[in-house]
Structure 1
Amino acid sequence: MHTSLGKLLLCCISLSGMAAAQTAWQPLESDGKIRVIAHRGEHLHHPENTLAAFQAAIDVGADYFELDVRTTSDGKLVLMHDSTLDRTTNGTGEVHKHTFDEIRALDAGSKFSPAFAGTKVPTFEEALDLAHGKINIYVDTKYADPQQLVDTIVKHDMQDHVVIYGNPFFLYDVRKIRPSLKVMPEAITSDICKFLVRGLQPQVIAFDANDFKDPVIDCAKAAHASIFVDRLGDADTPEVWQKALDLGAAGIQTNRPAELADWLRQHKLATH
C-alpha cells in the first residue's frame, strides 16, 4: 500500500465513528437544480480571484464563486491561485514569503487590463463579506491552517454556504474541528473514493475530466454525495455540460458562468 493511502486509511478508521452533522443548508441534490460555479469568479472579463470577478459572478447569476486561499508570511489569508505573485500582479516571488502589507501594495489588475489598474489582492474575509447573503463559495485551499480557515468562515457566518476543497489530510482536520462543514475531496479512483467516503462523510465530491468515470461516479452516488465537476477550457461547452448532467452532476465549475446560467434556465435546471 502506498504511504499516502495508508495514512488516509488511518484517518478513515479514526473518523469512521463521527456522524456528519446536519446544517441549515438543504442537501445540494434535493431540488434537482444544477449549481453554476464561477471558476476564480467571472474571470474572462475581470481579473481572477478579485472582488470585481466575484461581484460579476453574482451579477450573472452564479450559485458559487470559486476562490483559492493562501497564507502570507505574517499569517493573513489572501486569494491567489498561483504559489507566486508573478503571473497576476506586478510583484514577484512566493506568496508565503511576503507580508500582507507587501502583497496589498501590489497591482492585481493591470496585467489583465489597464481598465483594472489598482485592483488589490483581496483577503479571504473580504470575499466572505461580499458573498454573505448573495452567493455560496467553493473554497480551494492551497495553503492555509485548518483552524484559521474554519474560524474565519464561522466568524463571517458563512459555515452553511461554503464547500471546502483540499487534500484529504487537510479536510480530515477540518472535519475534526467542525464536522458540519461541507468538505469536498477529489475522488481519483473508486478505491480512493471509498476511503474518502468512509473517513470524511463528504456531502460533495469533486471531479475533473480525468476522474469522471462510471466506477467513481457510482461510489459518489452510493454515498449520497453531490457531484461537482470541472468543465473548463475546451470542455466548457453545452454539449459537455449536458454529458455531465446525464452522469449525475449537481454542480459545474465553469469559465463561462453567464452562458451556463442561461443554458440551465433554458432547460429549467437553474436555481434562479
Structure 2
Amino acid sequence: MKKKIILAWVLLLYVNGGCSKSVTPNPSSFSDSFIVIGHRGASAYAPEHTIISYQLAYELGADFIEIDLQMTKDGVLVAMHDNTVDRTTNGNGSVESHSVEELKRLDAGSWFNKNFPLYADSEYEFLTVPTLEEIFAYFGKEVNYYIETKSPDKYPDMEEKLIQLIRKNDLIEKVIIQSFSEKSLIQIHAAEPRIPLIQLLSYQSPAKITESDIIKWKEYAAGIGPNYQMIDKAYVKAARRAGLLVHPYTVNSKKDLDRLMKWGVTGVFTDFADSLSEEWKK
C-alpha cells in the first residue's frame, strides 16, 4: 500500500464549544466532538469499498469508515454504493442478481487504476467485494463504522441482518447508521435504540429547516446528513440549537471545511483523509 500519504487529520478531537447533545437517542459513546468520516474508505486514493480503502482511511486518521450496504441474492450484506456492479467491478448487472460467490469472482480494483492513474497500484488489481461480516472480522473494534442502509424497499430484511451482525460482533458502541430512508431508520431505532442514527437529506435547492422537521427527526435520529452545498449558517445553527448532530457530505476542500466548521457542523464526509489536515495545519 502506498506510504506517501502519511498525514492524518488534526481535527479529530475538535469540540464545538457550547453545543448541546442530542436528546433522543442519547448514546454515551458519541459526543459532539468533530468527526471525520472516510467516504467509502479513502476513496480518492484507493478503490472504494474495499478492505484496502478502509485500511488506508484508518491509517490516515479518519474517525469512521463509511460503508454502503447492498444485499446479494442469497441474502449476504456486502459493501457497495451502487445498485449495480458495473461501475466498480468488471462485471455487470444488479448486486441482488448475484450470489456472494459470484460477486467474489469479480475484480473490484482494476477499474480504479484505469480511472485514476496518479494513484494506481498493482495491489489494487483483482481486489474483491467485501461482505460486512468480513469487514467486521478484519477490523473488529479497532475502527468505528458509519454504515448506510441502501434500497430498504428492495431489501426488507436488511435492517434485521445488520443489527444481528452488529450484536454478534459486539459493535453497538462502534457504529453510527445513516439512511435516506426514514422508514429504515425508524425500524432500526425501534429494534436497537442504542445505535445513533443520522437522517440523510438530498436537497436539490437551498435547504430549509422547520420545527416540524426537527420534531420528526428527533423521534428517532441523533442528527442529519445534508448535502453541504445546500445548507447555510442559519440551517446549521437551527439544527445545532435543537441538539441535532450535523454531518454534511462530501467535503473535499479546505475552503469548504473552514466555512462549515465556522457554522458549527459536527463532522464531515470526505474522499481525502489527509489533504485537508495538511492545509489546516498551515
Does TM, scored on the shorter chain, surpass 0.5? Answer: yes
What SS does the aligned partner of 1:186 have? strand
Q: How much has 1:21 moved relative to structure 2? A: 5.6
What SS does the aligned partner of 1:257 have? coil
Q: How much has 1:182 moved relative to structure 2? A: 0.8
CA distance in 1, matches of 2:80, 2:215: 30
Q: How much has 1:45 moved relative to structure 2? A: 1.9
Q: Which residue of 2 aligns with 1:133?
A: 141
1:92-111 residue CA offsets vs partner (Å, 9 max, x unmatched) = 10001111111111110111
Structure 2 CA distance for partners of 1:260 and 1:125, relative to 1, 3 Å: farther
CA distance in 2, matches of 1:177, 1:55: 30
CA distance in 2, matches of 1:26, 1:256: 23
Question: What are the residue-to-residue correspondences of 1:21-32 with 2, within 5 Å?
Answer: 22-27=26-31, 29=32
Equivalent residue in structure 2 for 1:242, among 237, 242, 258? 258
1:151 counterpart = 2:164: yes
1:224 counterpart = 2:232: no
Give identity over the alignment, percent.
27
Q: Which residue of 2 aligns with 1:196?
A: 216
CA distance in 1, matches of 2:219, 2:185: 10
Q: How much has 1:48 moved relative to structure 2? A: 0.4
Worse-superposed segment, 158-167 or 76-85? 158-167
Q: Which residue of 1 aligns with 2:59?
A: 59
- 1:212 aligned partner, one-letter code: I
Question: What are the residue-to-residue correspondences of 1:1-272 with 2, within 5 Å?
Answer: 20=24, 22-27=26-31, 29=32, 33-113=33-113, 115=122, 116-143=124-151, 144=155, 145-166=158-179, 167-187=181-201, 189-191=208-210, 193-200=213-220, 202-232=221-251, 236-263=252-279, 266=281
Contact 1:231 1:240 in 2 (8 A): no
Q: How much has 1:125 moved relative to structure 2? A: 1.5
Q: How much has 1:162 moved relative to structure 2? A: 1.4
Structure 2 CA distance for partners of 1:263 and 1:129, relative to 1, 3 Å: farther
Contact 1:226 1:249 in 2 (8 A): yes
Q: How much has 1:195 moved relative to structure 2? A: 4.3
Worse-superposed segment, 219-228 or 84-93? 219-228
CA distance in 2, matches of 1:37, 1:26: 14
TM-score by length of 1: 0.81
CA distance in 2, matches of 1:22, 1:35: 17
CA distance in 2, matches of 1:222, 1:92: 46
TM-score by length of 2: 0.78
CA distance in 2, matches of 1:72, 1:85: 11
Gaps (5+ residues) in structure 1?
Answer: 1-18, 268-272
1:129-183 residue CA offsets vs partner (Å, 9 max, x unmatched) = 3333322111121135211111111211221121111111100000010111111
Gaps (5+ residues) in structure 2?
Answer: 1-22, 114-120
CA distance in 1, matches of 2:76, 2:85: 15
CA distance in 2, matches of 1:196, 1:159: 24
CA RMSD after TM alignment: 2.1
CA distance in 1, matches of 2:230, 2:142: 31
Q: Which residue of 1 aligns with 2:6?
A: none
1:204-253 residue CA offsets vs partner (Å, 9 max, x unmatched) = 22121244234542342133122111134xxx211110101011111111
